[in-house]
Amino acid sequence: MKPNVSEDLINEKIMKSNIRYWVIAVFSICIGIYPLIYMIVDKEAEGFLRSKSASLLTNTLWRIAFFTHIYFGGISLLVGWSQFSKRIRAKRLKLHRLLGKIYVIAVLLSSITGLYIAFYANGGIVSQLGFSFLAIGWFYTTFNAYTSIKKKKVEAHRKWMIRSYAFTFAAVTLRLWLPTLTSLLNIPFNEAYIIISWLCWVPNIIIAEIYIRKAIL
């Protein structure tokens, strides 16, 4: 009896797709809860804020924008990955829609405030432009994902959601690339941060477009 090659290939694709899905989910959850560190420790003593000037840390508008950005960015990571679950879409459509609304609201708030704090990014104009385009792209793709589904354009919605989450996932890839550049390649933090402002999201979008064009979903 000849083996069913086409069925084996389909099963292999499904297995690879499931592995990718859960890898993304685990990273998203781990980084999504990261903003909680600012709730339980001295805010100015930890992480990203250590690289900021005292004058900026006392800027009320910047602080509101920063914490809005990281908290709602964390929420978008925590709920966004679930939007790609075929099981939830098929069996829990109301939950899928609820989580989708939470995701859109979280992204819009985080991207708008992200654009504001991008103007204060370490590394000068190159970093500022990198993070600004990230914020604009994140807002644009998420807004299109929302308007597409409102118009019942499901396939367009899926494609825009892939792009949107590629931008969302920049929070993960940033935290993977930064220690790689600074610790493994010994690149000074400020120089690495300039590179990261583009490296954390441009490859994500390229991969997302390849993913869409190959119709993997």
Q: State CA 67 to chain mean position distance.
A: 16
Q: What does the mean pLDDT of the chain come to?
A: 85
Q: For residue 182, what is the enclosing H or E element? A: none
Confidence of residue 9 (pLDDT cuts 50, 70, 90): very low
Q: For residue 207, what is the enclosing H or E element? A: helix 202-213
Q: Are residues 108 and 142 in contact, defined by beta-carbon separation less than 8 angstroms?
A: yes
Q: In degrees, to the nearest 5, what angle opens at C-alpha 215 toward C-alphas 210 and 217?
A: 110
Tokens 């790609």, residue?
84
pTM score of the predicted model? 0.84
Q: What would the two tokens of residue 104 be? A: 């859109």
**What single DSSP character describes residue 184?**
I
Calculate mean pLDDT across residues 188-207. Answer: 94
Q: Are residues 123 and 197 in contact, defined by beta-carbon separation less than 8 angstroms?
A: yes
What span, in angstroms and rounded, lies between the C-alpha atoms of 65 and 99?
Answer: 23
**pLDDT higher than threshold 70 for residue 12:** no
Calculate mean pLDDT across residues 9-26. Answer: 62
Question: Got the DSSP string for 118-141?
Answer: HTT-TTTHHHHHHHHHHHHHHHHH
Q: Which of left, alpha, beta for 121 (phi over 0: left; psi -120 to 50: alpha)?
A: beta
**pLDDT higher than threshold 60 for residue 69:** yes
Domain boundaries, the chain: 5-213
What span, in angstroms and rounded, lies between the C-alpha atoms of 193 and 182?
Answer: 9
Confidence of residue 43 (pLDDT cuts 50, 70, 90): low
What span, in angstroms and rounded, lies between the C-alpha atoms of 24 and 33?
Answer: 14
Please report, for residues 66, 71, 109, 200, the alpha-carbon distance to residue 60 in angstroms, rounded to integers and kept in the order given.
10, 16, 17, 27
